Amino acid sequence: MTRNAPLRRLALASLIGVLAGCSSPEAPTNQAPQPKPAHATSRVDHHSFSNPEQMVVRHVSLDLSVDFEERTLQGSASLDVERIDSSTNTLFLDTRDLNIAGTYCGEQAVPFNLGDTDQHLGTPLSIELSSDCQRVRIDYATSPDASGLQWLSPQQTAGKKHPFLFSQAQAIHARSFIPLQDSPGVRITYDATIRTSPELMAVMSASNDPNAERDGVYEFNMPQRIPSYLIAIAVGDIHFKPMGERTGIYSEPAYLDAAAAEFEDTEAMLIATEKVYGKYRWDRYDLLILPPSFPFGGMENPRLSFITPTVLAGDKSLVSLIAHELAHSWSGNTVTNATWRDLWMNEGFTTYLTYRIMEIVYGKEREAMEFVLGYGDLQADIGDLVADDTILAIDMKGRDPDAVFSNIPYEKGALFLRELEQRIGRAEFDAFLLKYFEHFAFQSITTAQFEKYLREELLSAHPEAISPERLAKWIHQPGIPEGAPEPSSPAFEMVDSARNAWLTGEISAADIPSGDWAFHQWMHFLQGMPDSLSLQQMEALDAAYDFTASRNNEIAHVWLMLSVEHWYENAFDRLHNYLVTIGRNKLVKPLYRELAKTPEGRAFGAKAFAQARDGYHPLTVKTNLPFVLEKVDDQ
């Protein structure tokens, strides 16, 4: 369903109200903002019911109690509003499954109305404000099934003693725990008082005090203007361990030491990024290590990135995730996509920055390997997705952002910037990006704004570097333009010949010259296996390298994919265990999808899913459910 349909219905209801003579200011409002045609401006956010062009929220003040018994947050959100259009008295907010108890201006109750629910977008909340009302308070409670929250029982945590709560708001789930204008085009500051039991600690994407007295009441402040999808909270048996001057780890005690060792280069990454792209604008940069059910690898919540524990490999092999979330402090958090159509600017710029940071901190060779692996992911998606879904500035209207997630905005976006870098020259392109972050700091911008800035500030001086047609191809057309950069890695060429020698029977598995191979080389080795791989070959590899027991979750993932494809049952205990202990969608979804291709596989998946479901995040449930149901088309 589109954004405009429910609004049109609201407008009709309002008209009926007027005709029936019940338009007194006290009556619950049904007045909707005029629906805007989609082409009027590319700032139109098809994923929000809010009306910031008429009345915009500037600050959110939260006072919430965390109820682990009921699995609810309850309390109030007070919103400071500014009128842009003085003829409008109706504030439109986004909600999803919220229980609204009342809305107030000062002590005065004001009328509100919940509109029709859209399956992707939730339910619009309209509040009628008198012209002198500048702060509205909404008393509310969340639903135990809030799509943006996961509630874990003590049994589902590492420590087993205390419950755990965390949020994941991107893309449109903030509305399931706060009534607000849930659009990345709207920036707010926020403060919060979080009340919980004294043995628990609360942290947020805001100023955190590791030495805060553990008394169950925690205060937060986020003085920089951020989009709503960056509001985040976690509550549990959370402790702190410093790493560098501005960096540290928050987590359950079980992960603290391992994470501080694995991510000890975070401070160096921060310093490296500042040198190229300008000063870090967010004060501290800490990491929160979540339980393994966290549905993403990481989430760039400002000052406090949320991180999956599945990257604690013991050898720093997966730390590009930290470089990625850190890089979002520039691309994403300082300069933000205005709508979800513009997501490629958040993720593509960040992926490009990640490669650059990895090169500075770990060297060209490692960066080249990561670039080749990313390029492989991109090629795979280009092959799998319908053409229109390989466009950077993708049409998202009427679609659930959770269902459109792919490597395209990440790797195609990064490849595009890589081409610009190569054609313009690194020094000048770096200077351009530095200026870009400066120019648009704390703004939410559209693809069109970026294109204009690029033309005026860079391409006008380099008309020969890239033609307008080619630019349009990169941003607005499917696939990868011919002649785009193609990464290569000498370290992978060695792997290719070793794999070939083994596949053709020249050498045995044990004789593969892999003594000093890095994690990335092993990934490349496994990802390059042909469809014709036999069970005997799987067994030989496993006997030589024990992939089934790999403690690196990315290696294990590729191995388990091969195991499902070739029905290598020796790995199925590990596969079951993997599926029931990890909730990170990127790791489990491809496994469920592959399993769903055969009836036996689907039954195997269904069994694991049934056992894991209670511990999965709502998003992981929503994404994978279709693959375990008896008869449903593949996604």
> Tokens in use for 315?
């050898």
The question of whether 280 is a catalytic residue gets the answer no
Sign of CA dihedral 471, 477, 483, 489: positive
Q: Is 324 in the site for ligand BES (CB under 6 A)?
A: yes
Q: What backbone torsions phi and psi does residue 450 show, to the nearest 5 degrees?
A: -65, -45
Q: What residues between 605 and 634 interact with ligand BES by CB under 6 A? A: none
Greatest Cα-to-Cα distance within the chain, rounded to the nearest angstrom: 88
Nearest approach, Cβ of residue 631 and ligand BES (Å): 29
- Of 255, 277, 410, 616, which residue is the catalytic one? 410
Stretch in the footprint of ligand BES (CB under 6 A) among 76-84, 295-303, 434-442, 484-492: 295-303
Secondary structure class of 128 (helix, strand, coil): strand
Is 453 a known active-site residue? no
Instruction: Provide the token pair at 161.
Output: 């003693």
The residue number whose beta carbon is nearest to ligand BES equals: 297
CA distance 110 to 58: 20
Helix, strand, or coil here: 30?
coil
Nearer to Zn ion, 67 or 347 (CB): 347
Segment contacting Zn ion by CB under 5 A, of 60-68, 200-208, 342-350, 560-568: 342-350
Looking at residue 36, its amino acid is: K
Euclidean distance between CA atoms 459 and 599, whole angstroms: 55
Query: Residue 48: which of 241, 181, 205, 197 has the closest Cα?
Result: 181
- Which of residues 48 and 170 has its CB atom nearest to ligand BES in the complex? 170
CB of 350 or CB of 444, closer to Zn ion: 350
Residues 582-601 that bind ligand BES (CB under 6 A): 586
d(CA 231, CA 188): 10
Q: Classify residue 485 by burial, with Cβ atoms within 10 Å: 0-12, 13-18, 19+.
A: middle
Say whether residue 286 binds ligand BES (CB under 6 A).
no
Considering the complex, what minimum distance in angstroms separates the CB of residue 613 from ligand BES? 21
CB proximity list for 249: less than 8 A, separation 6 or greater: 240, 241, 243, 255, 256, 259, 260, 263, 286, 287, 288, 289
Q: Which of 29, 170, 317, 623 binds ligand BES (CB under 6 A)?
A: 170
Q: Shortest gap between Cβ of 374 and ligand BES (angstroms)?
A: 9
Does 3 participate in binding ligand BES (rule CB under 6 A)?
no
Q: Does 495 bind ligand BES (CB under 6 A)?
A: no
List alpha helices for 335-425, DSSP H.
343-362, 364-384, 413-424
Amino acid at 16: I
A 10 A CB-CB count for 266 gives 27
Q: Which stretch binds ligand BES (CB under 6 A): 212-220, 246-254, 255-263, 317-325?
A: 317-325
Pick between residue 68 and residue 352 the one whose CB is nearest to ligand BES. 352
Contacts for 537 with CB less than 8 Å, ≥ 6 apart: 503, 509
Cβ closest to ligand BES, residue 489 vs residue 623: 623
Residues within window 17-56 making contact with ligand BES, judged by CB under 6 A: none
Among 298, 309, 376, 487, binds ligand BES (CB under 6 A): 298
Give the side-chain half-sphere CA count within 13 A for 232. Answer: 27
The region of 207-215, 262-270, 298-306, 505-513 touching ligand BES under the rule CB under 6 A is: 298-306
Residues 394-433: x where in contact with ligand BES by CB under 6 A, - otherwise, as a string:
----------------x-----------------------
The binding track of 349-378 with respect to Zn ion, each residue x by CB under 5 A or -, is: -x----------------------------
Residue 67 pairs in a beta bridge with 72
Question: What residues form DSSP beta bridges with 286?
Answer: 248, 304
Query: Which does residue 3 bind out of ligand BES, Zn ion, none, counting CB within 5 to 8 angstroms by kind?
Result: none
Piece of the chain touching ligand BES by CB under 6 A; list 291-299, 386-394, 413-421, 466-474: 291-299
Q: What are φ and ψ of residue 328, in 5° steps? A: -60, -20
Helix (H, G, I), strand (E, B), or coil: what is residue 10? Answer: helix
Residue number, 272 or 541, with CB nearest to ligand BES: 272
The answer to whether residue 347 forms part of the interface with ligand BES (CB under 6 A) is yes
The one catalytic residue in 325, 359, 370, 554 is 325
**DSSP-assigned beta bridge partners for residue 113:** 126
Residue 294 lies near ligand BES (rule: CB under 6 A) = no
Beta bridge partners of 335: 331, 443
Could you give the angle at the alpha carbon of 320 between the alpha carbons of 314 and 326, nearest 5°? 115
b/e for 615-630, b at 16 or more Cβ within 10 A? Answer: bbbbbbbbbbeebbee
How crowded is the C-beta side of 250, counted as CA atoms within 13 Å?
28
Q: Which of 64, 149, 321, 368 binds ligand BES (CB under 6 A)?
A: 321
The window from 50-58, 294-302, 509-517, 590-598 that contacts ligand BES (CB under 6 A) reads 294-302
Letters for 6-45 (x = contact with Zn ion by CB under 5 A, - = none) are ----------------------------------------
Residues 563-582 that bind ligand BES (CB under 6 A): none
Tell me if 316 contacts ligand BES by CB under 6 A: no
Query: Could you identify the residue written with the tokens 């996509």?
Result: 337
Distance of CA 387 to the CA centre of its chain: 23
Contact residues toward ligand BES (CB under 6 A) are: 170-171, 296-300, 321, 324-325, 328, 347, 410, 586
Which residue numbers are catalytic? Answer: 325, 410
Contact residues toward Zn ion (CB under 5 A) are: 347, 350
